[in-house]
Structure 1
Amino acid sequence: MPQSHSTTSTSSPTARTRATVTALSDLWPPPTTGTPPGAATVTTDGQPIVTSPADLPPVLPPGGRALRSTATRTCSPPDARGEWLRFAPVQPLFRARAAQRLAVLAYHGVTDPRSFGAQLDRLRRLATPVSLASVQQAVTERRPLPARSVLVTFDDADRSVLTHALPALIERGIPAAAFVISELIGTEKPFWWHEADFLARHGGRARSLDCGHPSQLLRRLKAMPDPDRRRSLHELRVSADRRPPGQEQLTPADLLALRAGGVAIGNHTQGHPCLGRCDDATVRAEITGAHEALTRWLGDPPIAFAYPDGGHDVRAETVLQELGYRLGFLSDHRLGPRLPSHPLQISRLQVDSTTSTRRFDTILSGLEPAYRRWRGHAA
């Protein structure tokens, strides 16, 4: 009779559960080289739970083909993925592991206030909402945050953070942080990626862009050196048939109102370039320019920064250290330690206000992010 691949243990249930979660964290994400793990059996109380990530149910939309993650502003796959993963046998184990991690949620705008409110209610039941100041204190005192700590953040500071998010946060007593693009404050300028999309759809052309379908425009612009991106945007503006409509942005008074309501204000650069495509002088100017503007408006210098597009930049970190920043946030769709080991490189989970509560649970537990990383590796 063939030998079973299941393992047994005489250790305590708590120790076996901890071993299970550790084994799962080794499976997701898989090694960066070689093939994905194939037959590693994870057990608890001697019973197999899952033999590999492939044992999870395939993520199929109604049409049938497996979904692949795509690069979007929120990087959010369809909610169908969360619906499947919610019933995966490993979800309770990921949830147990997440209790000892820090979850920083990265939103942009709030387009669905009702869904966003349901997510906040979920946080109040399942987690311990913490403030930016609490994270800073944990770093300063080298003392881990409470179990199940969650920090809510917003990138770009869309006006809906004031009109939709702030009332919901105040009602539930949940603190948050908003990272601001300083050159938009007090204007009606659209975000540059919205403007580029509009211009391309209304006849805009640029020499450095093989425009093709407008849906590919943003990816090509982000891949350009920053001077080329700015030049291409200018060419789109002068060649398009129409100008984009104005977009009301936050004002300095709005920033003070957010802060008074428990939403800390952080730096997100002057114009939201891809820092990795900028020269050293531009990296410094983007950070220091926004820092000076926010200090002038708020009366105090900001202490937290969110990297545009979520990627870490060593040169940016050097500038942040010089300016006295205590916290820096990525958008790498990961949980982090309750005591951040790299305070200027804190992981965040990407989430949207339209995300269903079922998928929201799998993001908060770390299962959906881990599954996405494994799927990307396997692809």
Structure 2
Amino acid sequence: MNPELRATLAGLYQRCDAWQGADALLRRSPAQLWFRHRARSRLAVLGYHGIEDRSSFEAHLDRLCDRSAPVSLRQVEEAARGGPPLPPRAVLVTFDDGDVSVHRDALPALKARGIPAVCFVVAGLVGTDTPFWWDEVEQLARAGGTTDLVPPAAPELLPHTLKLLPERRRREALRQLRDSARTPVARKPQLTEVQLRELAAGGVDIGNHTLTHPCLDRCDDRQVRAEVLDAHRLLTDCLGRPPTAFAYPNGNTDARVHRLLGEAGYRSGFLYNHRLAHPGARHPLRIDRLVVSTRASADRLETILSGLHSTVFALARGAARAAVRSAQAIRRTS
């Protein structure tokens, strides 16, 4: 994917929250009724990150208790491998990256309602105060940091542009940004081993989200192996048992990763493609997930759970791709 198209799509994702006014119309449309009926037999795997709005997140959980059937990772893994089917309107709550707010805010809310969940952790950050690299890139850019390895981009879009680079060049771009920024970025406390064990004891399974969160399809063979297996060892040592679930950073899959996960005994792998899942219909290491924020309104959550939001967003994404390609063709012929 070229940088211009990538930046356009990233901007579309970031502006998605601005569509909240249209969500009420979508939720009350005839299409929502049809999509909700269709979604009854599918699995909604909600992919959160941190808890930006605790009260809104708690409202999400209350809605899941009232109108859905929260299920555990074990139930999903069994269903994905031909075991007992999931109940109608099944939903699995997941978190990517392992932000400390999952322990501070999500854990007590989940425990109070008896809802299981999964937290996919960037293992190399556990017990450190190192910020997530994409947050650091944006902050460095805002502090005047530059790199000559990608075209200039707005600070909020620069992390998306860096994801297009081979992993070694991405790390070099980050070094350039650090060297040229006027000030270093603020440190960020990460989850500790004690907190990971408390999450696991509280009903939140801990999954592997690699060692440092690169795009695995941009890594060489040695990097892929280290990112998957070194993280696996760290999490196994911390938890006293190996993780069984893996989430692909940025949703980028790779045949080498699938092979390593199979050899290491993983039972599930999760994408980030904003689709409802069909346990048992696809490979267990390629389970679809829905993109959701704790800031999402009640209307937005309903259209996400039904799959209507996925369809509308896919249409908007297709239109954005077509617009960029059309502009590129005009420039080439002018």
TM-score, with length taken from structure 2: 0.89
Partner of 2:277: 336
Distance of 1:111 and 1:217 partners within structure 2: 22
Distance of 1:153 and 1:276 partners within structure 2: 23
Partner of 2:91: 150
Distance of 1:161 and 1:197 partners within structure 2: 22
Q: Which moved more, 1:212-221 or 1:143-152?
A: 212-221
Distance of 1:171 and 1:77 partners within structure 2: 31
Partner of 1:133: 74
Residue type of the alignment partner of 1:226: E
Matched, 1:321 2:259: no
Structure 1 position 372, deviation (Å): 1.5
Question: Are the counterparts in 1 of residues 146 and 180 from structure 2 also a CA contact under 8 Å?
Answer: yes
Structure 1 position 172, deviation (Å): 0.7
Residue type of the alignment partner of 2:258: E
Distance verdict in 2 for CA 1:212–1:147, change over 3 Å: closer
Structure 1 position 216, deviation (Å): 2.9
Distance of 2:152 and 2:163 partners within structure 1: 13
Higher helix share: 2
Matched, 1:268 2:219: no
Question: Are the counterparts in 1 of residues 48 and 294 from structure 2 also a CA contact under 8 Å?
Answer: yes
Matched, 1:199 2:137: no
* Runs of at least 5 residues in structure 1 that lack an aligned partner in the other structure: 1-67
Q: State which of 102, 110, 133 in structure 1 corresponds to 2:51.
A: 110
Distance of 1:69 and 1:100 partners within structure 2: 31
Partner of 2:169, secondary structure, is helix
Distance verdict in 2 for CA 1:290–1:75, change over 3 Å: farther
Residue type of the alignment partner of 2:297: S
Distance of 2:249 and 2:297 partners within structure 1: 26
Cα-to-partner distance string for 1:3-46 (whole Å, 9 max, x where unaligned): xxxxxxxxxxxxxxxxxxxxxxxxxxxxxxxxxxxxxxxxxxxx
Structure 1 position 220, deviation (Å): 1.7
Partner of 1:208: 149
Cα-to-partner distance string for 1:123-164 (whole Å, 9 max, x where unaligned): 011110001111122234533211111000000010000011
Partner of 1:177, secondary structure, is strand
Partner of 1:247, secondary structure, is coil
Residue type of the alignment partner of 1:360: L
Question: Are the counterparts in 2 of residues 154 and 179 from structure 1 also a CA contact under 8 Å?
Answer: yes
Structure 1 position 84, deviation (Å): 2.1
Structure 1 position 218, deviation (Å): 1.2
Aligned residues: 313
Cα-to-partner distance string for 1:104-131 (whole Å, 9 max, x where unaligned): 0000000100000001011011110001
Partner of 2:46, secondary structure, is strand
Residue type of the alignment partner of 2:60: Q
Distance of 1:289 and 1:351 partners within structure 2: 29
* 1:42-191 equivalent positions in 2, closer than 5 A: 70=11, 72=13, 78-191=19-132
Distance of 2:15 and 2:91 partners within structure 1: 19
Matched, 1:241 2:185: no
Distance verdict in 2 for CA 1:111–1:275, change over 3 Å: same
Distance of 2:218 and 2:12 partners within structure 1: 18
Partner of 2:156, secondary structure, is helix
Partner of 1:280: 221
TM-score, with length taken from structure 1: 0.79
Cα-to-partner distance string for 1:166-190 (whole Å, 9 max, x where unaligned): 1110111100000000111000000
Distance of 2:248 and 2:108 partners within structure 1: 26
Distance of 1:330 and 1:152 partners within structure 2: 14
Partner of 1:206, secondary structure, is coil
Question: Are the counterparts in 1 of residues 97 and 122 from structure 2 also a CA contact under 8 Å?
Answer: yes
- Identical counterparts, % of pairs: 49
Q: State which of 309, 312, 322 in structure 2 corresponds to 1:371.
A: 312
Partner of 1:303: 244
Q: Which moved more, 1:154-163 or 1:331-340?
A: 331-340
Partner of 2:246, secondary structure, is strand
Distance verdict in 2 for CA 1:160–1:129, change over 3 Å: same
Distance verdict in 2 for CA 1:212–1:153, change over 3 Å: closer
Q: Which has the higher contact order (CA 8 A, sep 6+)?
A: 2
Partner of 1:258: 199
* Runs of at least 5 residues in structure 2 that lack an aligned partner in the other structure: 1-8, 321-334
Distance of 2:114 and 2:18 partners within structure 1: 30
Residue type of the alignment partner of 1:287: V
Distance of 2:15 and 2:112 partners within structure 1: 25
Distance of 1:323 and 1:160 partners within structure 2: 29
The structure that has the greater radius of gyration is 1
